[in-house]
Structure 1
């Protein structure tokens, strides 16, 4: 709505200020603008327009110079209303498809390759949120710990072991625990937990399981050992290309900002929560600066897009993280196309 209040002159000056900032990072003054505007204006007229833009919260002066750069609000308005997103060439599209296919066609092979590709193309850090790769189960066992308590031992292929303590009915016999373990092993071994859980719950609902009431309660408790996990926190996070963020650092304040961003990238749960927001987007989602709490101090932007399987189920999110002075016009179509390629492969 703020964009609609600007006349053509104000839009033209605002666009040039943002373009110059995204290209060089330097503040732009009225004399510079007077030389590059399509419809020439005097420096005094330009200063009046810049003052109005500053009053609107779209630009500001980073120090005492006469130059201006866009605020986060200004960048958001520019990206939403004035940005002309570029098109990828056929060579670029082909390169992305080939690179994503290079290591195989399984999700765990595609995603690290796609993430490295994005960091190289964008010269920023790239990030992907992937569903956790769950191995099939080898064994499940219940161990009696005392009245009302038992230990559930889950062994996955690759010999990953997960232990959980559960509550069981008082007076439960060791033989009932053994029966529950045998029942689950017969249906779980060779399947992932999610696959087995669906089969067993159907049996229990249809009363096909030949279990007494107490043993059935143990089985249900065993199935619940993972139900309490929040879906987002079980996701796998891959970050590539952190070193790219240091390539164009010139000022000390820029270095401090990048250090803060590095700290933010280590905050796994918060980062996954941020990417969860992009899961619901239709196409590319853009977060600029303080629009997300995680990167409010480092002044960073995130460009992310969900990727889907053959049934259009959203599996995860892939994207780019960098300073707010990103080449949005180039990076947005790269992220968007890479997400589509991943979906097509799957």
Structure 2
């Protein structure tokens, strides 16, 4: 397993002696456990060596000078800075294997009866499962769907609006509202749907678009202008208006977990802004690009990624791949900066491994 946090040249290296290292480690571990600052008196009792509170304060002062810890209030204990957390993750964090019960839980959600379940259901399961195991928000992001099509239908809602329905081979259903050309009749809706269904033959949407491009003369011969326009609108709306291969869907479960322990309304507003940002298409593209740039699990702490700079959240993310070893999505966990990274990294890594395996088998 690889946990490649960020490019080595961007990391900050600090040389700490034994006393400084132990003081720093205890401050970070306490923060990750309960989010509370640790004072010199309590800290002196936790250290493996004998140090007076006064000596501990001197060490803490040195760590503050390095930018690794800070005091949230006057005369308070100390908390790690984002730089301190990054240094801890890079220098001291030990990533172990999954506990057997956690591995079994992930497999139960992901593999139980998977062949009979639509892809969207599996992805939703993965997001929900990661949320439950980590107490963060589980995130799964997929590339624009290349679902094998089974049936297409247009259902009129209003004189100038229709519901475009796409059914996949595993009975997953996508609905989109489309604008109808002025004067479109019910018979033209039926003709457009029948023409598409006649040319499906177990194809994906990009494949169907390619076929129809090659059959321009036949399209013109069999369909009038309004029906041709309707076919084009249906293909465009199912594509989501994005380029081929661009990310197209984000599933986030467990958002309420991130609200726990927030101090004030300002924190809640910043978190709401984060999720608003995540829903934007360019943010989806950025997320999958983040996952693609490393060979394994990547960790982004707070402001290291602009999406999370205001909310003070962290992201642990990994790509998953298809049978051609192409990245088709990303899976991860969003949580507070005091996330238990050593525990979350192997969970995200194993979930990405299973999603890759399932993607290759379909």
TM over 0.5: yes
Give yes or no for the alignment of 1:129 onto 2:141. Answer: yes
Alignment CA distance shift 1:242-1:186 (3 Å): closer
Asked whether the 8 Å contact 1:136–1:192 carries over to 2, the reply is no
Give yes or no for the alignment of 1:277 onto 2:295. Answer: no
Give, in whole Å, the separation in 2 of the partners of 1:164 and 1:20.
56
1:111 to 108, 123, 130: 123
1:31 to 24, 41, 50: 41
Alignment CA distance shift 1:193-1:85 (3 Å): same
Give, in whole Å, the separation in 2 of the partners of 1:285 and 1:22.
19
Q: Describe the superposition over 1:7-56 as per-residue Cα deviations: whole angstroms up to 9, x where unpaired.
A: 22222211111011111211112222221111222222222221121111
CA RMSD of aligned residues (A): 3.7
Q: Tell me the number of residue pairs that the alignment of Structure 1 and Structure 2 aligns.
A: 312
What SS does the corresponding residue of 1:235 show, helix, strand or coil?
Answer: strand
Alignment CA distance shift 1:156-1:120 (3 Å): closer
Q: Which residue number corresponds to residue 242 of structure 2?
A: 229
Q: Which residue number corresponds to residue 208 of structure 2?
A: 196
TM-score normalised by structure 1 residue count: 0.75
Give yes or no for the alignment of 1:307 onto 2:329. Answer: no
Alignment CA distance shift 1:199-1:322 (3 Å): same
Instruction: Give the alignment of 1:14-25 within 5 angstroms.
Output: 14-25=24-35
Unaligned runs of 5+ in 1: 141-153, 166-181
Asked whether the 8 Å contact 1:99–1:113 carries over to 2, the reply is yes
TM-score normalised by structure 2 residue count: 0.72
How far residue 278 of structure 1 moved from its aligned partner, in angstroms, is: 2.9
Answer with 1 or 2: which has the greater Rg. Answer: 1
Q: Describe the superposition over 1:117-140 as per-residue Cα deviations: whole angstroms up to 9, x where unpaired.
A: 111101111111023334457489
1:252 to 263, 285, 295: 263
Alignment CA distance shift 1:230-1:66 (3 Å): same
Q: Which residue number corresponds to residue 158 of structure 2?
A: none
Q: Describe the superposition over 1:233-288 as per-residue Cα deviations: whole angstroms up to 9, x where unpaired.
A: 651111111122234x1x633x5324421331133115414422333121111111
Unaligned runs of 5+ in 2: 1-10, 155-163, 168-172, 181-193
Alignment CA distance shift 1:110-1:186 (3 Å): closer
